[in-house]
Amino acid sequence: MTVQALYSAATGMTAMESKLDVIANNLANMETTAFKADRANFEDLFYRHMKYPGVQDMSGQYTPTGVAIGYGSRVSSVQTNFVQGAFRQTGEALDLAIEGDGFFQVLDPTSGETLYTRAGNFSINAEGNLVMGSANTGRLLEPPITIPEDATDIAISAEGIVSVKQPGTVNLSEVGQIELARFINPEGLLKLGENLYSETDASGTATTGNPGQDGLGVIRQNALEASNVEPVKELIDLITTQRAFELNSQCVQVGDEVLQVVTNLKRY
C-alpha cells in the first residue's frame, strides 16, 4: 500500500508540473496579440477495487459503498479559452481586430497551406500586398489584397471592405474584401506558434464569409485584440499548483519514511 502511495503521489506531481507549464505559458503570453489562454484539465486513473459497492452482506442487505484505492491522476486535456480579448487602440490603419467569432486567413509560402490567426497586425510587402506583420515569414492575407503604391489613406469597414484614397480623387476606391473563417470547434485547431492555427479533423472544415455575416464577427480598424490572459487568476492558479505539488511531494516523503519503519522491523 505504501509503495503505491509513492507512485500515486508521483503522478500528482507530474500532473501539477504539466499545469505549471500551462500557467507559465499563459503568463509569458500576457502581451501577445490575440493570444488565447489555456487551461489544464485532469482525470483520475484506474482503481484497485478491494470490495465492490452493492455486495450482499450476511443479513441479505446490499452494501451502499465499496473499497476502491485510486492510482493517481493525469492530464486529460489542455483546452483553449477563445473568449474575446480586450481591444487596444493603436491608430495604425493596418491594425485590425475581430469583434466576435472568426479568424483571418493567411497563406503559408512554404507549404502553400492556408493558416488562421486572430492577430491582425498587418503590413504591406514590396509588391503592395497585405501580409502578416512578421519579421520571419511574409504570409499573404487570403484572399489577397493589393494596396496601390500611391495610396494616401486606407479605410477598412466593419464588413471588411478595403478602400483607399489616391491623389487627385475625392472618393475612396474599393480595392478588396477581407474574408474571415470560422470553425464549429475552434478548440480542435492545431497550434503552430507565431499566432497561427491550422485546421484539423477535430476542428472541422473552415466556413468562410464576409465579416458580419453568417455568425462571423466584424472588423475594427486601428485596433488590436489583446491577450485574454487574466493575470490575477493565473497567479492564484500558480499558488494552488505550487501547494498541490508540495503536498504530493510530502506524500512521497511520508511513504518513504513508513517503508523505512517497515524495513527496520526485522531488527527488533
Q: What is the pLDDT of residues 58-116, one digit of tens each?
A: 888 888 888 888 899 999 999 999 999 999 999 999 999 999 999 999 999 888 999 99
Is the backbone peptide bond immediately before 64 cis, with ω within 30 degrees of 0? no
Strands (E), 100-217: 103-107, 114-117, 122-124, 130-132, 140-142, 153-156, 161-165, 173-177, 180-182, 190-193, 196-198, 207-209
Report pLDDT for 160: 95
Report pLDDT for 268: 55
pTM for this predicted structure: 0.87
Euclidean distance between the first and final Cα of the chain, in Å? 22
What grid cell was written down for 232?
A: 490575477
Report pLDDT for 267: 62
Tens digit of pLDDT for each residue in 157-169? 999 999 999 888 8
Tens digit of pLDDT for each residue in 162-209? 999 988 888 899 999 999 999 999 999 999 999 999 999 999 999 999
What grid cell was written down for 237?
A: 492558479
Report pLDDT for 169: 84
- Rounded distance between C-alpha atoms, residue 100 and residue 103, angstroms: 10
Integer CA distances (angstroms), 32 to 26, 27, 54, 64, 93, in order: 10, 10, 54, 53, 20
Beta carbons of 266 and 13 less than 8 angstroms apart: no
Mean pLDDT is lowest, of 129-133, 162-166, 249-253, for 249-253
